[in-house]
A = this chain, B = another copy of it.
Amino acid sequence: MKNDNLKKSGLKATLPRLKILELFEKGEEHHLSAEDIYKKLVLLDEELGLATIYRVLTQFEAANLIVRNHFEDGRFVYELNKGPHHDHVVCDRCGKVDEFVDETIENSQREVAEKFGFKITAHSLQIFGICPKCQSESLQQS
Contacts and interface: CB of A to CB of B under 8 A. Distances in A.
Interface of A: 70, 72, 89, 91-92, 98, 100, 102, 104-105, 108-109, 112-113, 115-132, 135
A132 B104 contact: no
19 contacts: A70-B72, A89-B112, A89-B118, A98-B116, A98-B118, A104-B104, A105-B108, A108-B108, A113-B127, A116-B131, A116-B132, A118-B129, A119-B129, A120-B129, A122-B129, A123-B125, A123-B127, A124-B126, A125-B125
Contacts of A121: 92, 128-130
Contacts of A135: 117, 119
